[in-house]
Structure 1
């Protein structure tokens, strides 16, 4: 059995997904090191074999810079210079930004809800009808996502978010409060669930009280999901689909998908699957040296 040194870049052990990964890594005989992005990298004295970043919305810009520094500077101190890395910083940055993601998917011909970037508020909007979805570019768990019914409400959202850039997105009433989350590891879709929001809520995030249930994908949806992760260069991700009158559309691909809900509703040990994938990645990496 392999005994790898796996570094989990995460704020704290108490986060459910981080704890699950540590538990499964230890159970498979590995040495697990949880490294807080707040800690000075000069203190990192152990050469990890695998790095698994778990970077949420909290101080994301700072955390992804730490990940990039690990790739660029810290790991260069070690020999061999670079361990296996799941979701590199550049790909992480694109996937965490809703506008960057939309541009990448559009260029790849992947169907997504029509979206527009607005950098300042005025009453001249792109060709979208109200209501429309308004999103902060970097957010998760449904935070920073709004349903606007008028230009006045968009102005209020701008004021509330500090006049930062926002994404305007077409609203599909037929999908109100529901979407599909597919959990992808490598080139395999490991679990799928349909999420349903609480009554009256349009956001289907489990963190906001939504419920989940196992769900089957159409072959075309599976192809869409796998093309999305290949386009964004993600090895572990949660891809969200919206089933609409225009067909299935990709909303986003989360490079730090939560484990708690989807493991619960699908009765699958996805944390163990991630560790197994890391083992396979290490094996391929070692062979190629």
Structure 2
């Protein structure tokens, strides 16, 4: 029997009337057994002697301001494995779902789905006997306009009661930037995206000012989160330095970002702290090419542009002849390069440790895509959470401290005898680590600001 079933696409709007959610966009996933709802501040309590749970739902994607406070009886507590392979114990509630003028009861688990995009996942248990899925289509039952959503949720928008935070970056649509804004809003802060290219400075000994497009003066900010792309390092750190001069707290300082972006200087600082790195050479004269290759143990070897990042400007030279050609070509272009030993036993894998305020909050193992030697998710690689050794933890924390950073992504490879430090990134991406761990890493960054500014949430 198919004639009475609702035909849906890969995403559809639905409602959860019993918990006062008129509209939420769900990812329709017949591969998942259980349905899941994005919930935060999940708190169990007793009502008339029975177990209940209270929680908050942010029903709209990329929006941490719109908040619904919910309560429901606890139906079950169940161990569920997420799409990232992580197993967690979740509260399960039973509630009604409304789709296409039909309503029925479903089981829903409560979990933080910040890193997943969709605020709800509709599993096959909830669809059984009711729905047919056309995975090539979406929103077959219609889309909801911003105006309609505003009529639904206008009274549920949280007014900021916390800090005024500026996110200084280039692309508001980047996953990491969207998540940081959302995490700040969820915690009651007023978070504004500040485009690096649209900021400009007034240098005045008595009254320094930061101006924004159209002549607006940027004032009243409690904190700035600088996330500066490599091509904007000079201007972005100048802006960060100016905010510091105006007495605004910055999550990473301009000087720390500047030295972390200088690959040669950062390696010199790291080895001065006793941190282990792959053998690395740096030379200016083409006459020294042969000696430079021998210095790092011969081919295969890695050639790195000093200003490269996210795997760009990093080349593997598999033979001595290829290494000579590559090094001399870069030198003829007057490009500054590092030559580094190639750690074969790493086998295309590295560890990214995400450090916030002196603690490793999560670690992932990144694996290179087939045919690639660099473990980079932007180049088709994969990531999974991993357990790090005490020595790897020590390296990550000391490297971040050496660079003077409060937030950093520290890249480590496992050599034959010990771990080796590759790089310290002052603007680490969140997509790979949140996707693999299903953790609110952006929230950890906001909490670090709250802690440093001694802010207590109401």
Query: What is the TM-score of this pair, normalised by structure 2?
Result: 0.58
8 A Cα contact 2:185 2:191, kept in partner: yes
CA deviations 1:159-195 (Å, max 9, x no partner) are: 3683211011111111131000010111111111101
Pairing 1:140–2:309 present = yes
Render the CA deviation track for 1:58-113: whole Å, top value 9, x for unaligned. 332222222223323xx1xxxxxx12211111111111221111101110101111
Shift in CA distance, 17/37, structure 1 to aligned 2, threshold 3 Å: same
Pair 1:238-2:409 in alignment: yes
Partner Cα distance (1:279, 1:124) in 2: 53
The whole-number CA distance in structure 2 between the counterparts of 1:281 and 1:26 is: 18
Check conservation: 2:330, 2:337, Cα contact below 8 A.
Answer: no
CA–CA separation in structure 2 for the residues paired with 1:156 and 1:215? 35
2:240–2:250 contact (8 Å) kept in structure 1: no
More helix by share: 1
Q: How does 1:120-131 map to 2 (within 5 A)?
A: 120-122=285-287, 123-126=289-292, 127-128=295-296, 129-131=298-300
Mapped partners of 1:224, 1:91: distance in 2: 18
CA contact (8 A) 1:108 1:231 kept: yes
1:1-289 to structure 2, matched below 5 A, reads 3-39=162-198, 40-41=200-201, 42-43=210-211, 44-72=217-245, 75=246, 82-122=247-287, 123-126=289-292, 127-128=295-296, 129-148=298-317, 149-156=319-326, 159=329, 162-283=333-454
Q: Which digits, 9 at most, give the CA deviation of each residue in 1:121-153, with x for residues without a partner? A: 343333121111111112222101011132544
How far apart, CA to CA, are the structure 1 residues paired with 2:447 and 2:285? 46
Deviations 1:261-287 (A, max 9, x none): 100001101011111111111118xxx
Q: SS of the counterpart of 2:364?
A: strand
Higher strand share: 2
Higher normalized contact order (CA 8 Å, seq sep 6+, divided by chain length): 1
| Residue ranges of structure 1 left out of the alignment (5+ in a row) | 76-81, 285-289
Which stretch shifts more, 178-187 or 1-10? 1-10
Structure 1 range deviating more: 120-129 or 173-182: 120-129
Give the Cα separation in 2 of the matches to 1:160 and 1:14: 34
How many residues in Structure 1 have an aligned counterpart in Structure 2?
276
Check whether the contact 2:290–2:324 (CA below 8 A) recurs between aligned residues: no
- Once the 2 structures are TM-superposed, how far is the Cα of residue 24 of structure 1 from its aligned partner? 1.1
**Which sits farther off after the overlay, 148-157 or 208-217?**
148-157
SS of alignment partner, residue 199 of structure 1: coil
- Which consecutive unaligned segments of at least 5 residues does structure 2 have? 1-159, 202-209, 212-216
SS of the residue aligned with 1:257? coil
Evaluate the alpha carbon distance shift between residue 19 and residue 152 of structure 1 in structure 2; reply closer, same or farther with a 3 A threshold. same
- Alignment CA distance shift 1:245-1:163 (3 Å): same
Q: Give me the whole-angstrom Cα distance separating, in 1, the residues matched to 2:435 and 2:338.
A: 32
The RMSD of aligned alpha carbons is 1.8
Contact 1:197 1:204 in 2 (8 A): yes
Which is worse superposed, 208-217 or 62-71? 62-71
Q: Tell me, yes or no, if the aligned pair for 1:187 and 1:226 is still in contact at 8 Å.
A: yes
User: How many Å apart are 1:226 and its aligned residue?
Assistant: 1.0
Give SS of 2:422's match.
strand
